[in-house]
Amino acid sequence: MHFGSCRCENQNNTFYSQIFKLVLPIVIQNLLSAAVSSADVLMLNYVGQASISAVSLASQYASVLFMVFYGLGTGATMLCAQYYGKGDMQAIRVIEGIAMRFSLAIAILFAGAALIFPEGMMQIFTNDRELIEIGASYLRFMSVSYLCWGITEVYLAILRSIGRVTISTAMNVLAFSLNILLNAVFIFGLFGLPKLGAMGVAIATSLSRLIELAACFVVSYFSKDIKLEFRYLFVKNKILFSDFVRLSLPALGNDVSWGVAFSMYSVILGHMGTDAVAANSFVVVVRNFGTILCFGMASAGTILVGKTIGENRLEEAREDAKRIVRLTVITGAIGGLIVLAVMPFALKYAALTEQAMEYLKYMLLINVYYVMGTAINTTLIAGVFRAGGDSRFGFICDTVDMWCYAVPLGFFAAFVLKLPVMWVYFLLCTDEFVKWPWVIRHYRSGKWLNNITRDNLFSDE
């Protein structure tokens, strides 16, 4: 009996040691990502409310694109983590090429649209002429960053899937640090350069993404196994392609469906006035800091549980999932406290109108508890379930929740009932809690736990 308890304690210690090694670099990476968004808003705060609002709306396209790349990345991670546990590096290289094909196609589509009709893209979010003009100039220069992002995000996701989160984090540290520095240079016209305002944010982002891509090629050159090589794009394997489409594309569909629906919140608020948009711009930044630990836990959970399943240790994977969920409850509570702690500073330093400040205050209070709903759902749907090869449940759950409940409710409340801004925002923020019963029931059923690897993939080659 004593031996059994010691073994269990050793397993716990090993798990927490592994999860900490994975979560810490991912949290640093997410922290820097949130810092870039904060820097954009804080610096544009000195340019004017119109610039903040325009960049906030135009950035919804980057948010959707992030969801596309995140979906492709986690979809690839879902397969790669299990194949890494199985020890099949050749399969991982093929999956990298497949994921890259999809990400490049989508990046080219977004970059082309941003370059050719940015005004039309802005008109979806607002009918304010000033915001459209500022946002259009921002989108034109962002088109370069979309292309670079489509390549780096997949490569770094593959590195994370095999546990090399430190390299991935180092690349993001480089890009995000440069982004903040270049933001200041181009927004305020340092070193004799012209003051470019909102356009400067886009130029800084594109330059930092280009440098990050170059750094990825340098890392790839010295890597012994997983390289960033475009020849992977042309490697074909029908079985892996079929598995990627069947397992990874629902993850992509899930994140895109959720991301586009979440952007609809900005469409709703965008047509309720610039005060609501400006307040929400600050709220998004603060909420990003509050959810850093949650997203880190989801990413680490996918890698760790996926690897364990690939090694065919299913019961141990189930126990690891339980530990991750317990940790998520704690990180969700910490996230809510972070939002609460940042609130006085946001209210003190935000240069907004009196009405926008009033919105900001109550929006932040709502997000104190909203973070917990996001934490549980993200860890289970985007972490634990995907680690077990179950991306279909999340796709159906989020699509129904967002498109049949939250978005219609928001439009109905805003434009039919014509409720005040804060009531509309409160109703929109019920989306995470509505799906809790289904998500938790699916987790307890254990139907998500599957070994999705295959044997003899390359036996005919």
| Structure confidence at residue 13 (pLDDT) | 67
Would you state the torsion angle of the CA atoms of residues 119, 124, 126, 131, taken in this order, to the nearest 10 degrees? -30
Helix axes 49-86, 89-116, angle to 10 degrees: 160
Instruction: Please give the Cα distance from 350 to 346 (Å, whole number).
Output: 6
| Structure confidence at residue 3 (pLDDT) | 45
Supply the Cα-derived Rg of the chain in whole angstroms: 22
If we measure between CA atoms, which residue out of 246, 242, 240 comes closest to residue 391?
A: 246
Burial track 16-46 (b if 16+ CB lie within 10 A, e otherwise) = eebbeebbebbbbbbbbbbbbbbbbbbbbbe
The tens digit of pLDDT for each residue in 371-406 reads 989 899 989 998 899 888 898 999 999 999 999 999
Instruction: Please give the Cα distance from 263 to 251 (Å, whole number).
Output: 18
| Structure confidence at residue 76 (pLDDT) | 87
The two tokens of residue 446 are 């254990």
The two tokens of residue 258 are 């959720």
| Structure confidence at residue 420 (pLDDT) | 92
Instruction: Please give the Cα distance from 364 to 353 (Å, whole number).
Output: 16
If we measure between CA atoms, which residue out of 279, 280, 248, 271 comes closest to residue 389?
A: 248
| Structure confidence at residue 406 (pLDDT) | 94
| Structure confidence at residue 37 (pLDDT) | 59
If we measure between CA atoms, which residue out of 358, 353, 196, 198 comes closest to residue 274?
A: 353
CB-based contact 371:294 (threshold 8 Å):
yes
The amino acid present at 4, given as its one-letter code, is G
DSSP 418: -
Instruction: Please give the Cα distance from 202 to 40 (Å, whole number).
Output: 10
On the question of pLDDT at 39 being above 70, the answer is no
| Structure confidence at residue 447 (pLDDT) | 92
| Structure confidence at residue 107 (pLDDT) | 92
On the question of pLDDT at 283 being above 80, the answer is yes
The two tokens of residue 101 are 């094909």
The average pLDDT across 274-279 equals 84
| Structure confidence at residue 348 (pLDDT) | 83
- Distance from first CA to last CA of the chain, Å, rounded? 51
Angle at 388 between CA 384 and CA 391, to 5 degrees: 80
The average pLDDT across 36-48 equals 64
The two tokens of residue 4 are 């059994």
The average pLDDT across 109-120 equals 89
Q: Which position has the higher pLDDT, 58 or 413?
A: 413
Length of the chain in terms of residues written: 461
The tens digit of pLDDT for each residue in 403-441 reads 999 999 999 999 999 999 999 999 999 999 999 999 999
The two tokens of residue 168 are 């991935």
